[in-house]
Amino acid sequence: MIARPAPRNLPAAAAVVAALVLLLLAPRWLERGSLNDLWSIAFAIVLASAWNILGGFAGQISIGYSAFLGIGAYTTALLSLKGVGPYWTLALGALLGAAFSYVVGLPTFRLRGPYFTIATIGVSEAVRVYAAGVSYTGGSSGLRMPPGTFDFGRDYAAMMVLAAAVVLLSLWIRSSALGKALFAIRQDIDAAEALGIHSTRVKLIAHAVSAAIVALAGGLFAINFQYISPGSVFDFRLSLSIVLMPIVGGIGTVAGPILGAVIFSYLQIKLLSTPALRDSYLFLYGGLLMVVMLFEPRGLVGAWQRLQGLFRVPLRRKGVPGGA
Amino acid sequence: MVPEAGALLVVSGVSKRFGGLLALSSVSFSVEAGQIYGVIGPNGAGKTTLFSCLVGAARPSGGEILFRGGRIDGLPNWAVVSRGLVRTHQIVRPFRQMTVRENVSVGAHFGAGRRRGSDAAARVDAILEKTGLAARANALAGTLTIGESKRLEIARALATEPSALCLDEVMGGLNPSEIQSAMTLIRTLKESGLTILMIEHHVHAVVGLSDRILVLNFGEKIAEGAPAAVMRDPAVVSAYLGEDAPAEATS
Amino acid sequence: MTKLLGVLVDSLLAGGLYATMAYGLAVIYGVMRIINLAHAGFLMLGAYATFFLFTRFHIDPFLSLVVVLPAFFLIGVALYLAIVRRLPRSGATPSMESLLLLFGLWLVLQNLAYAIWGGDTQSILTGYTMKSLSFGGVRVGVPLLLVFVASAASLVVLTLFLRRTYVGKAIRAVTANRDAALISGVNADRISATAFGLGTAFAAMAGSLMSTLYAFTPDFGRSFLLKAFCIIVLGGMESAAGVALGAFVLALLENVFGAYTPIPTTFQDAISFSLLVVVLVLLPQGLPRLFARRSAHAR
């Protein structure tokens, strides 16, 4: 489901701000391991929610988002090595991410549905091969951040603020004119154009916004891990989970990507600590994707609504089942 | 025929070719501001193709289209809409997972008006009232009846604040009382100063409403003029009414 | 001159293999309007199946096709009946659900291969792997020649099947005009099952053939999947001949780039992927979409 009658933003926004305050205070009570896990969860929420702006709201499923993460991470690493303060590099990374999203989007947004998806696989593969092949990225051996750029407290706070900002942005977009244009494009692009929506421009805007956010997250990723390589930022598992988190949680909703991100981060943490599971992540991810597509393409949020519907049918106004 | 200058919409020599099929063959006509302009013809005559070309959903293979003095042929659909020419779809295309109000507000936010916030909300409310959809404002568009869906098509198009509205068979599939209220709505729209082009199979309705009528057959214009004169035209009688007489009888 | 001739011969031979690889994707798309991302997985499994038969039972890779083809046909049919059939039917354009479901299947197949064979790079070495023949100064590897012969033979048999048999004709009819074919009484389920089986078998066969030319890992097939997309967009899905043409064009482009430009081999794949994007954009959604657009507006 998207856009049920008048989504109420204020309570949701208040909840997000309250959560942010709690998370910013968390370092007083929690130890470093738990904070690291929180950092990973927030990172996942940023990626999933940002992807969802284009992939969910506008229904343009891109499998090429690791390119933006890589752009952000490499911008931060390369400039930091030149002596620029790492946090100053974030803005440039976001800008470059948005610019690259424009270059990619301009030709590929002429394609519809799955054809767009396939083109994005081509783009991401080309970028990965390129990044591993050229010399200034450090090639496949990667780059190490200069000493003295690591401050976990600061990176933790930055990631929390970014995650909260992305969720608030999603809430705002959902109820804005831009959001309605995105929903309209997702449901019937021709009908959307027939009402005056310049679909390519709207898609480019959504793409640029989400790409800039993912690039920001990439910069913070570089600062936090202090080492990046094509294997880490263009990791297949990572680009896979950017797509899978919102889909499993519930595509096109605000809550879905958050839910998906929390579940996936938990799985990731479990996977890393259990050798037997580490080798079966593809099985897990692939199986999850198949199950969602077969039984509830609207993800966990969709399943939850269906469950609610089962119990509440008599109380509902007539004629408001889940739609097509 | 040389179209008169100063008309709101001037179509000259517009053709549309789909592979080997000539769906429109050098069609010319003009529409004055404030008119109701009927387009009739048998199935497959090219009526919907004509509308698609007018609004830019299809690119004409040849000819010129002038709207409010500017060329609009070759422009994409959204750009034509922002210049004030919009159409409804014969087969309704609501955004099914959005409410009726949200559907209409898409038109208000984009289109020619580009309204935001409370300005858009007021406009949407007025249109919902006018098209009789106010009671269904919060229903999901996928749950509407066919009559309501047709009205939603009109409401969304109106929300784009057009100066001319192309209605593609908005009475198809409606029952007699719904047709009556649709006719009333169209008259009201005309009185508010809107120019209307309408494709319609209900000959009675189109003759009753239109100031002028264009008749298409196999992509060609076979007659154009005042309704009464057009209906007496022997070419029209043999090409169109001969086949479709029952439509007149039922309506 | 000899260099040009060599490029042309190499392109022709590679084109045969590419056509076999792309046809599996085309037949499934044509009949069901599904983009089978699991194609890459079947390609990879085909290579491993041949590897398994070769190492365990010393069956010649080309002989192994006798087992691989029917086995994967049955696997394809079974997967269709068990999973794919449950999806809502795609309309004129493929549904995202089918794309993502089969993406999931591909991941599962990859994991299966990791579990069975591990992540090491494998290759098949036969007595003729390193042998080559010379035709008027152009040297051609024996495996590549054999691969071409097998591909060409399979495409001929396929064409006969599509032209002469009832099921073959029904597949062509559904591909050309789905609604008309279904109205005239074609059993959609049976045709879809056959097409999915056929597509799977062709993917596996291409994988088997590739195992004699390239080294492979469970990740094998991804770049070939993208190439297969490129081919069916270039050549259309209407006929085996169209697919073959698209395959030859792609192979030619690759070989020309390789022979006449100084682009290092590490970027070869990047060229193919960029080409895919260019082709998709210049021929938006390919030839089939051109036809679809016509009929959509003709109303």
Report H helices in chain B: 47-55, 77-82, 100-109, 117-130, 146-159, 176-191, 203-209, 227-232, 234-236, 242-250
Averaged over B83-103, what is the pLDDT?
Answer: 93
- Give the whole-angstrom CA distance, residue C274 versus residue A127: 10
**CB-based contact B56:B75 (threshold 8 Å):** yes
Please name the residue that has the structure tokens 């035209």: B233
Cβ–Cβ < 8 Å for A295, A287: no
Contacts of B93 in chain C (CB under 8 A): none
Judged by a CB distance cut-off of 8 A, whether residue C125 touches chain B is: no
Please tell me the distance from the alpha carbon of residue B231 to that of residue A269, in angstroms, as a whole number. 77
What separation in angstroms does the CA of A179 have from each of A53, A237, A318, B141?
A: 9, 29, 26, 17
CA distance C71 to chain A (A): 23
Q: What is the pLDDT of residues A173-199, one digit of tens each?
A: 998 999 999 999 999 999 999 999 999
| Alpha carbons B107 and B118: distance in angstroms, whole number | 15
Look over chain B and give the mean of its residue pLDDT values, rounded to a whole number: 88
CB B149 within 8 A of CB B88: no
- The DSSP annotation for A262-314 comes to HHHHHHHHHHHH-HHHHTTHHHHHHHHHHHHHHH-TTHHHHHHHHHHHHHHGG
Alpha-carbon distance of B105 to B115, in angstroms, equals 9
CB B21: neighbour CB atoms within 10 A? 12
Chain A residue at shortest CA distance from B78: A196
With tokens 């919409």, the residue in question is B9
Contact pairs from chain A to chain C, CB under 8 Å: 131
pLDDT given for residue C90 in this prediction: 64
Q: Which residue has the tokens 């990973």?
A: A40
Average pLDDT rounded to a whole number, residues A223-234 = 86
Ranking A41-50, A107-116, B167-176 by mean pLDDT, the lowest is A107-116
Taking CA atoms, what residue in A is nearest to B100?
A: A5
Which candidate, A163, A153, A161, A144, places its Cα nearest to that of A225? A144
- Nearest-CA distance C168 → chain B (Å): 28
> Considering CB atoms only, which of C101, C109, C229 is closest to A293?
C101
Reference B39, options B245, B203, B238, B247; nearest CA is: B203
Q: Given this model, what pLDDT does residue C278 score?
A: 75
- For C178-228, the DSSP string reads HHHHHHTT--HHHHHHHHHHHHHHHHHHHHHHHHTTS-B-TTTTHHHHHHH
- Percent of chain A predicted with pLDDT > 70: 92
Backbone angles phi, psi at B66, to 5 degrees: -110, 130
Q: How far is B244 from chain A (nearest CA, A)?
A: 30
CA distance A111 to chain C (A): 6
User: Which range among B71-75, B151-155, C8-12, C196-200 shows the weakest confidence by mean pLDDT?
Assistant: C8-12
Radius of gyration of chain A (CA): 20
The residue to which tokens 């022997």 are assigned: B234
Per DSSP, the three-state class of C139 is strand
Measured CA to CA, the distance from residue A172 to residue A245 in angstroms comes to: 21
Among A1-15, A127-141, B228-242, the least confident range: A1-15
Contacts of residue B117, Cβ cutoff 8 Å, sequence gap at least 6: none
Please report, for residues A52, A257, C182, the alpha-carbon distance to residue A167 in angstroms, rounded to integers and kept in the order given.
11, 10, 47
* Contact (Cβ atoms closer than 8 angstroms) between residue B16 and residue B10: no
Q: List the 58-87 stretch of B: residues with Cβ below 8 A of C.
A: 58
Let me know: does C128 contact C60? Beta carbons within 8 Å: no
Residue with tokens 């568009």: B141
Instruction: Identify the band that residue A256 occupies on the pLDDT scale cut at 50, 70 and 90.
Output: very high
pLDDT, mean of residues B190-218: 91
Could you give the CA distance from residue A114 to residue C229 in angstroms, rounded to a whole number?
Answer: 12
Whole-prediction pTM value? Answer: 0.86
The two tokens of residue B153 are 């098509």
At a CB cut-off of 8 Å and minimum separation 6, what does A161 contact? A20, A24
Q: Which residues of C touch A133 (CB under 8 A)?
A: 264, 266-267, 270
Return the exposure string of C112-140: e unless at least 16 CB atoms fall within 10 Å of the residue's CB, then b: bbbeeeeeeebebeeeeeeeeeeeeebeb
Nearest CA to A280 out of A269, A292, A271, A290 is that of A271
Distance from CA of A10 to the nearest CA of C (A): 33
- Lowest-pLDDT range of A200-214, A237-251, B92-106, B123-137: A237-251
Q: Which of A134-148, B203-217, C229-243 has the highest mean pLDDT?
A: B203-217
Q: Are A230 and A140 in contact (CB under 8 A)?
A: yes
DSSP state letter for B99: B
- Which of the four pLDDT bands, split at 50, 70 and 90, describes residue A215? very high
pLDDT(C222) > 70 = yes
C181 versus C60: the higher-pLDDT residue is C60
CB contact under 8 Å between C108 and A279, yes or no, is no
Which of these ranges, A265-269, B243-247, C74-78, has the smallest mean pLDDT? Answer: B243-247
Place of tokens 């099914």: B96
Residue of A nearest to C270 (CA): A126
User: Chain C contacts of B47, Cβ < 8 Å?
Assistant: none
- Please report, for residues A36, A100, C92, C292, the alpha-carbon distance to residue A114 in angstroms, rounded to integers and kept in the order given: 36, 21, 12, 16
DSSP B33: T
Residue C297: CB atoms within 10 A of its CB come to 17
User: C3: which residues sit within 8 A by CB, 6+ positions away?
Assistant: C259
Q: What is the model's pLDDT at position B242?
A: 58
Average pLDDT over residues C271-293: 59
d(Cα B25, Cα B42) in Å, to the nearest integer?
A: 16
Which carries the bigger pLDDT value, residue C4 or residue A245?
A245
Q: Which residue's structure tokens are 């006798």?
A: C66
Residue B243 pLDDT level (bands cut at 50, 70, 90): low
Nearest CA in chain A to C268: A129
The distance of C291 to chain B (nearest Cα, Å) reads: 9
Residue A110: list chain B partners with CB under 8 A: none
In chain C, the residue whose alpha carbon lies closest to the alpha carbon of B48 is: C299
Say if residue A213's pLDDT is above 90: yes
Q: What single-letter DSSP state applies at residue B241?
A: I
Question: Residue C133 is inside which H or E element, if any?
Answer: strand C132-135
CA distance A192 to chain C (A): 17
What is the Cα–Cα distance from B76 to A199, expressed in whole angstroms? 11
Q: Place A280 in a pLDDT band, splitting at 50, 70 and 90.
A: confident
| C214 has pLDDT over 70 | yes
Contacts of B93 in chain A (CB under 8 A): 188, 190-191, 194
Cα dihedral A17, A23, A24, A29 sign: positive
**Which residue in B139, B135, B107 sits closest to B120, CA to CA?**
B107
Q: Which of C221, C178, C162, C171 minimizes the C-alpha distance to C196?
A: C171
pLDDT band at C199 (very low <50, low <70, confident <90, very high): very high
Chosen for mutation from B82, B106, B148, B158 (greatest number of chain A CBs closer than 10 Å) is: B106
Q: What is the rounded average pLDDT of the residues A167-178? A: 94
Helix residue spans in chain C (DSSP H): 2-32, 39-57, 65-82, 96-117, 142-164, 166-176, 178-183, 188-211, 222-235, 240-260, 268-282, 286-297
Residues of B in contact with C296 (CB under 8 A): none
Nearest CA in chain C to A284: C108
Integer CA distances (angstroms), C228 to A264, C150, C237, C239, in order = 32, 18, 11, 15
Give the closest of A191, A194, A320 to B139, CB-based. Answer: A320
**Cβ contact B159:B124 at 8 Å:** yes
pLDDT, residue C198, reads 93
pLDDT at B71 over 60: yes
What distance lies between CA C153 and its chain's CA centroid? 15
**Secondary structure in 3-state letters for B55-76:** HCCCCCCEEEEEECCEECCCCC
| C contact chains, 3+ CB pairs < 8 A | A, B
Specify the range with the lowest mean pLDDT, choosing from A299-313, B209-223, C196-210.
A299-313
What crossing angle do the helices spanning B176-191 and B146-159 adopt, rounded to 10°?
Answer: 10
What pLDDT score does B246 carry?
46
Distance separating alpha carbons of residues A237 and C195, to the nearest angstrom: 31
For the packed helices C2-32 and C39-57, what is the interaxial angle rounded to 10 degrees?
110
**Locate tokens 């051996």: which residue?**
A141
Instruction: For B149-169, write each residue's pLDDT tens digit.
Output: 999 999 999 999 999 999 999
